[in-house]
Structure 1
Amino acid sequence: MKALRRFTVRAHLPAQLAALERLSVNLRWSWDKPTQDLFAAIDAALWEQVGGDPAALLGQVGPGRLEELAADDSFVRRLDAIAADLDDYLTRPLWYQQLGGEQSGAGDEAGLPKGIAYFSMEFGVAAVLPNYSGGLGILAGDHLKSASDLGLPLIAVGLHYRSGYFRQSLSADGWQHENYPSLDPQGLPLRLLTDASDNAVLVELALPDGAQLFARIWIAQVGRIPLLLLDSDIPENEHDLRSVTDRLYGGDQEHRIRQEILAGVGGVRAIRAFTELEGLHAPEVFHMNEGHAGFLGAERIRELIEAGLDFDTALSVVRASTVFTTHTPVAAGIDRFPVDMVERYFGPDPGDPSVGGSRLLPGVPLDRILAFGAEDDPTKFNMAHMGLRLAQRANGVSLLHGRVSRSMFNELWDGFDPAEVPIGSITNGVHAPTWAAPQWMELGRELIGSDDLTSLRETEAWSGLREVDPGHLWWIRCQLREELIEDVRARVRRSWLERGAADAELGWTATAFDPGVLTIGFARRVPTYKRLTLMLRDPDRLARLLLDEERPIQLIVAGKSHPADEGGKALIQQIVRFADREDVRHRIAFLPDYDMSMARKLYHGCDVWLNNPLRPLEACGTSGMKSALNGGLNLSIRDGWWDEWYDGENGWEIPTADGLTDEGRRDDLEAAALYDLLERAVAPKFYDRDDNGVPIRWVEMVRHTLQALGPKVLASRMVREYTQKYYLPAAQALRLVIEPGRSDTAEFAVPFGAARELAEYRRRAERAWPQIKITDVDSYGLPDTPLLGSELTLTAQVDLGGLGPDEVVVQAVLGRVDAGDALFDPDTVAMTHTGTAESGHEIFTATMPLPITGSVGYTVRVLPHHRLLAGDNELGLITLA
């Protein structure tokens, strides 16, 4: 018989152990080893059985064992000390509070945001809370943990998926199977948001055809950071709406848009309910981690319209305070919905078309919402375009990805060169306490002489590694490799049994893999561009590398393909079938059900981390960062973060055949380069040992990797950069636009006067821009034979279409030209307004020295200018001579 419903019943905790409940529901335990060790001490075997999950442990431990521990003074003292440490962590001033102290007295405009809202479709905080599928979610989880460690007043918002992503298994012939366990939120480290009467707080959304979508709010406490997870699987919903939050990235587009509306619109409403009940500051800054939650901007506009603002003024307020991060280097990876589907969800109620705006967002015109997501295909609504149009600040997740994004979204700033598109970059980072092996954390404590590892955020703190004996570094690496091999053997055996093998034929798994052999890891999601099977391009050559008698290698491969991606599943099957070969199965394995717990072992134990995407389609690729944090050396295509931080001594660059249009030929060339590196560079260095068996040259690369990359790859560095480059400017911009001020329609100060001023300027600029013309450009001052440094004077006459000279910036653009007279890498010089011509056109002039030699050209352009814009390129308006 099958149960209708699953729920968790716990034993009552004795008073002496009451703090265990608090420790179990604050996910700080997921990166705090003393807390993990405390729970393991309750019942080591059960701790292992439940996968290191405190909530599950407390749900299954017997009352007799709890009474025994309550009488154990040593355990109770240990519990009290760890609980006190958690209290101290949650309350003491951290980096953010100290940063505020440094700026105190600088006035409100210099103040840090009192609250930050962070929206993501997935969060990888801990394996016990499987709300993630891959890098985007793991990055979001690391962002929250580091925000907690730094003391940011951040609130995170996502969805609670009743079945998470999926659990992966393999068939006998190596085909991926998915199964979706039903997760009981009461058995997870979550608490329900309730009101003063202990009733669950619900958010409500109006859907088409009179339907109402309700969601309750679960709170996962990630250190200091509350993560709000919306859950539609409640009795208040009709049957089909209960499944809105059933699976991450499951279902059709109808299912998907409902999830994204709930995440964006419902997420804002959840924050409002949470901050009011908890007495917290409402967020000033809203950060979209990808475009999935883009509808949050439309909901915030609705709130402001309800408060009395017009649409354009509300948009000015929302844009000023919104940050958008794109993780997508390919257009195919962007969520795009049919326009008629968006019209159905955001259009007026057919039963009452007189209602302004949509039934879901009263007062917000449908055409304005559709304009946010407009793209070159008029039948599609583009969520990334919406994110960019609703955010005054945007970024990619590595330097290279920033460049790729500026080209990818250039169409939104038509007329600007890609380099001028206002999308910056902050390179991702990883949370060291989560991903670094305990041995490295202990070495860090020894080197800095303190249990407080916060100083490791600074580069100087890593200099002590120079004094560590090579033999000790090698001992740590060998110890971690041995632990990995033990784990791999158990997983290989378990996988073969699940695929139908008999126990009697699996004796070989006990000696599969070798703790003394060069171990290479390759684990990630399995979209085509990551090229899971590049290593199989020449299977015979790979087999020779695996089985080399003097310098063998062993490969551990893992990853999940999206359930709908048949091509990705076929790639997995190719790897599995090769790894099934009797001659190589002790040297290569595909491990199913890749998750955070498996990943941690791989990052700790692999000597080399392999990454071979099609450049430049890897936005960042943080798995290699986690390996580097554990002394692993990267062997990678120059893509994502590796493009900017590879230095020739921290790993190896796989040469690329960029620009080759024959994909098969490109794969052949890059696979051959990979084999050559393994055979001629990587393996020889690993097996070249001194008299003590230590590979000195290898260990020096390990030491250099830790020193050079350790402080760079930290998520604390990433979150500090977001704070200083994006959150602080966004808060300052918000405070400027909400200031009282004058408008064209009022002689007295009005609320949100600055925002009204900006909205009025934007309307006038957009109306005027088609009429703006550069009617004449003259140059003089150059000698007959111009020399480097010779002065060039340009004068331009401009019809400003009714705008004033102080409402635009006119620039001279000077640089090299190609054979088609196109300027590249030009310099821009602001031209000065010097008067008005008889024609009524305004005169602008500039004098500049010639900065370069060769074929040089110039032009003049006009851009809008206003004190409340983040930059003169923000509106995407430009006129060229």
Structure 2
Amino acid sequence: MRALRRFTVRAALPEALTPLSQLVMNLRWSWHAETRDLFEALDPELWQTCGNDPVKVLGEVSAERLATLSRDRRFLRHLQDAVDDLEDYLSSAHWYQSLGPDAPRSIAYFSAEFGITEVLPQYSGGLGILAGDHLKAASDLGVPLIGVGLLYRAGYFEQGLSADGWQLERYPSLDPHGLPVKLLRQPDGSTVVVSVPLPEGRTLHAHVWRAQVGRVSLLLLDSDIEENAPAERGVTDRLYGGDEDHRLRQEMLLGIGGVRAVRAYCQLTGTPQPEVFHANEGHAGFQGVERIRELTESHGLSFAEALQAVRAGTVFTTHTPVPAGIDRFPRTLIERYFAGFGVPLEHLIPLGSEDDPSKFNMAHMGLRLGQRANGVSQLHGHVSRSMFSDLWPGFDQGDVPIGSITNGVHAPTWTARELVELGTQTSSEGDPFEGQGPASFDGVDRIPSGELWTTRRMLRGRLVDEVRRRLRETALSRGAAEAEVGWTDTAFDPDVLTIGFARRVPSYKRLTLMLRDPERLRALLLDPERPVQLVIAGKSHPADDGGKQLIQQMVKFADDPAIRHRIAFLPGYDIGMARYLYWGCDVWLNNPLRPLEACGTSGMKAALNGGLNLSIRDGWWDEWFDGQNGWSIPTADGVDDHDRRDDVEARAIYDLLSTQVVPRFYETDRDGVPSRWVEMVRHTLRETGPKVLATRMVRDYVEHLYVPAAGSARTMADGGYAPARDEAQWRARLQENWSGVRVAHVEATGGGDTPEIGSTLALRAEVELPHLTPADIEVQAAYGRVDDADGLHEVTTVPMAHEHTEGSRHWFTATVPLERTGAFGYTVRVLPHSEHLADPAELGLVRSA
């Protein structure tokens, strides 16, 4: 028989132990070692069998054990210390509190997934882990963030392997009452319910669960409630599942329902309503549509006026390096779902328009609703400006208003405790987690090489123990008998160079690139003097059979009895497994198809633990590889034949391993320490560590995006949204008359017949502005190196000053310095100008000479 419902019966806590409830419901325990020590002390054996899950431990620890602990003075002192430490963490002023009144009073951060702890499995991969680290770092810095997501009753999926190596998916049913979350309730105790309208008069209802992530509240919407019809109950069934209709309803609940949940939460708790709304990828785009609807109904604004107010306070982050990764819905589906929503379809549909008129593009909507947008590494910013350049026709790629903030990772979550206690994250410049700028972790210089190497070996040994345990479990689950799994007891070796490769398994990440020459890989694994061992993990999307075939290919290779003690594919990749990999791997391998890796934060986590990256110059590694923190795999950029490119880049990996990586690891001094290797580890910890911190990333978001967005949002809301009304009128007038704007004539004087460096050029431009004024525009002189096709490169722009006016004709002047030798060129262009523009290219309007 199957149970109708599953839930956990907990022992009642003795009064002396009631503070445990406070500690377990704040997810700070997931990155605070001392609090985890406390929960382990409840029952060390149970802690292990429960997978280090304090919620589960509290649910299963015996009443007798609790009674004993309630009389244990040492445990009670430990408990009080943990409670005091948490209360101090929650109440103390942090970096953000020093910013003053310009900082946003509150920020809403929307994401389809959040990876905070394996105990709350609401993530699939890098996007969710990044969102979780964003919340944790915001908490550490005191940033008043509110996270908004969905509570998936089956999470993503639990991964297994069949006997022949095919990925198997299992969707465990999660009971929210057994998770570290609480229902959001009204003062009378009733449950808060948010609602989203659906077609045919139906309504999608959701409860709001609140997870506390340090100082940050995370609101998770749950549709599996009695108020819904069966179809609507399943909307939050699983992450990234279902058809287009299902996904659209999920994204409507995230965006529209998420805004309504934030409104209810702020009203109930007295939290200031957010001034900034940050959409982490296009899944959350409908939050902007809901806020437009709010303003049209509450303040009588037109769509255009509400759009100005909403855009001003919206930040959009794209993580997508390829068009295929963007959510695109049939236009007819959008029309069906939003026909009576409150935002006219003739205004809504253009927000998501693209080349294909039958599609509605969520990333395009995110960019049109967000006045400020960014990619997640410098290279990804460049890729994004190219990928979305059609939204700004007439502009060079470099002028497309999409910036970049390179991702970071939450050091307290991902760094091995032993390394932190050694002092690898201390700095003579003060607290690097709250200070300004990229500090150096120079504390690592005080650690003797032998001690650093011994700690790295200990962490490698811990990984080996975990690999053996998982290999045994996996073999048994795939049908092996007990008598057949004895080999796992001696698999892997704590003294062998260990390489890690773990990530999602789309084709561009090239899981099987290392198998291009199987015999050469075997030779590396089985070298009698200097062997290598490989730990591999990753999940393929359940609908991606191509990814599953790559996993199967890897598993079959690793199943070979001759090499299975040196290479392993471990199913069940999650936060819990990842920690062992980041702690214990000497080298982190990453070989995506450049430039399709937006950032690739797994290598950052390895670097925080002294792991050396062996990676294609993609994502974050493209900007922070410095020649001493690992190795750069040469790429075959420009080779169109994918097979040939894979062969070339695989050979480069084998060559680097055999000629540089392996010799350096095994080259030891008289004390048995590979001194040159350890110096690379030390350099990585000292120089790369501070750069990859999530606190650095969140500071960048605050300073470069959140504070300016809050200022713009406040300006637009002044005087009952009078500036938003004025700006909408100005934009309408500008767009109506822009077709008549023309650079009629440009003349240049000075420089002589043969211009020399150090001389100047005087430019004078005649510009026609019918029905517009010089105050509506900015005229720029653009100059730089010129190619054979008269294309300008390395462009510098200077504003041209208004000289005089005759009717609709206006003259502008500027002086251009001749500061370089060689081919030189210039032009003149006209751009819109308003004090409310975040970027001159924002409107996508330009006229060039």
TM bin (shorter chain):
over 0.9
Give the equivalent residue in structure 1 for 2:221: 230
Q: 1:446 to 1:270 in 2, by over 3 A?
A: closer
2-structure distance, mates of 1:785, 1:99: 53
Give the equivalent residue in structure 2 for 1:572: 551
Indicate if the aligned counterparts of 1:421 and 1:873 stay in contact, CA closer than 8 A: yes
2-structure distance, mates of 1:591, 1:645: 29
Matched residue SS, 1:711 = helix
2-structure distance, mates of 1:563, 1:447: 43
Give the equivalent residue in structure 2 for 1:688: 667
2-structure distance, mates of 1:728, 1:259: 30
**Is 1:774–2:743 an aligned residue pair?**
yes
**Is 1:805–2:774 an aligned residue pair?**
yes
Cα deviations across residues 116-162 of structure 1 (Å, max 9, x unaligned)? 00000000000000000000000000000010011111100000000
Indicate if the aligned counterparts of 1:130 and 1:164 stay in contact, CA closer than 8 A: yes
TM-score (norm 1): 0.95
Give the equivalent residue in structure 2 for 1:429: 408
Give the equivalent residue in structure 2 for 1:34: 34
Give the equivalent residue in structure 2 for 1:91: 91
Give the equivalent residue in structure 1 for 2:56: 56
Give the equivalent residue in structure 2 for 1:820: 789
Structure 2, unmatched stretches of 5+, are none
**Is 1:341–2:333 an aligned residue pair?**
yes
Moved more, 477-486 or 192-201: 192-201
Cα deviations across residues 80-132 of structure 1 (Å, max 9, x unaligned)? 111111111111111111233xxxxxxx5xx2100000000000000000000
**Is 1:134–2:125 an aligned residue pair?**
yes
- Give 1:215's match in structure 2, choosing from 206, 211, 214: 206
Residue 52 of structure 1, CA deviation: 1.1
Residue 778 of structure 1, CA deviation: 1.9
Give the equivalent residue in structure 2 for 1:745: none
2-structure distance, mates of 1:420, 1:451: 38
1-structure distance, mates of 2:785, 2:178: 65
Give the equivalent residue in structure 2 for 1:328: 320
1-structure distance, mates of 2:407, 2:528: 40
Residue 852 of structure 1, CA deviation: 2.6
Q: 1:457 to 1:814 in 2, by over 3 A?
A: closer
1-structure distance, mates of 2:136, 2:839: 32
TM-score (norm 2): 0.98
Cα deviations across residues 657-695 of structure 1 (Å, max 9, x unaligned)? 001101110000000000000000000000001111100
2-structure distance, mates of 1:10, 1:799: 77
Matched residue SS, 1:157 = strand
Indicate if the aligned counterparts of 1:175 and 1:573 stay in contact, CA closer than 8 A: yes
Amino acid at match of 2:16: Q
Residue 79 of structure 1, CA deviation: 0.7
2-structure distance, mates of 1:450, 1:65: 46
Residue 798 of structure 1, CA deviation: 1.4
Cα deviations across residues 732-754 of structure 1 (Å, max 9, x unaligned)? 111112222xxxxxxxxxx2111
Residues 604-643 of structure 1 mapped to structure 2, 5 A cutoff: 604-643=583-622
Give the equivalent residue in structure 1 for 2:241: 250
Amino acid at match of 2:337: Y
Give the equivalent residue in structure 1 for 2:813: 845
Residue 450 of structure 1, CA deviation: 14
Indicate if the aligned counterparts of 2:432 and 2:690 stay in contact, CA closer than 8 A: no
Q: 1:529 to 1:447 in 2, by over 3 A?
A: closer
Amino acid at match of 2:140: D
Matched residue SS, 2:185 = coil
Residue 779 of structure 1, CA deviation: 2.1
Residue 22 of structure 1, CA deviation: 0.7
Residue 197 of structure 1, CA deviation: 1.5
Matched residue SS, 1:245 = coil
Amino acid at match of 1:511: T
Cα deviations across residues 679-736 of structure 1 (Å, max 9, x unaligned)? 0000000000111110000000000000011111110011111111111111111111
**Is 1:585–2:549 an aligned residue pair?**
no
**Is 1:473–2:452 an aligned residue pair?**
yes
Residues 345-424 of structure 1 mapped to structure 2, 5 A cutoff: 345-347=337-339, 359-360=340-341, 362=342, 364-424=343-403
How many residues align? The count is: 848
Residue 339 of structure 1, CA deviation: 0.6
Indicate if the aligned counterparts of 1:119 and 1:288 stay in contact, CA closer than 8 A: yes
Give the equivalent residue in structure 2 for 1:352: none
Matched residue SS, 1:796 = strand
Structure 1, unmatched stretches of 5+, are 101-107, 348-358, 741-750
Give the equivalent residue in structure 2 for 1:743: none
2-structure distance, mates of 1:759, 1:453: 43
Give the equivalent residue in structure 1 for 2:310: 318
Which runs of 4 or more aligned residues in structure 1 lie more than 3 Å from their structure 2 counterparts after TM superposition? 445-461
Q: 1:518 to 1:469 in 2, by over 3 A?
A: same
Matched residue SS, 1:877 = coil
2-structure distance, mates of 1:856, 1:497: 70
- Give 1:513's match in structure 2, choosing from 479, 489, 492: 492
Matched residue SS, 1:38 = helix
Give the equivalent residue in structure 2 for 1:82: 82
Give the equivalent residue in structure 2 for 1:165: 156
Residue 841 of structure 1, CA deviation: 1.1
Residue 263 of structure 1, CA deviation: 0.2
Residue 771 of structure 1, CA deviation: 1.4
Cα deviations across residues 629-680 of structure 1 (Å, max 9, x unaligned)? 0000000000000000000000000000001101110000000000000000
1-structure distance, mates of 2:123, 2:272: 28
Residue 445 of structure 1, CA deviation: 8.3
2-structure distance, mates of 1:455, 1:195: 36
Q: 1:473 to 1:74 in 2, by over 3 A?
A: same
Amino acid at match of 2:618: D
Residue 791 of structure 1, CA deviation: 2.0
Task: Give the RMSD, CA atoms, in angstroms.
Answer: 1.5
Give the equivalent residue in structure 2 for 1:698: 677
Residue 196 of structure 1, CA deviation: 1.3
Residue 455 of structure 1, CA deviation: 6.4
2-structure distance, mates of 1:271, 1:375: 31
Indicate if the aligned counterparts of 2:275 and 2:713 stay in contact, CA closer than 8 A: yes
Indicate if the aligned counterparts of 2:781 and 2:797 stay in contact, CA closer than 8 A: yes
Identity of aligned residues (%): 61
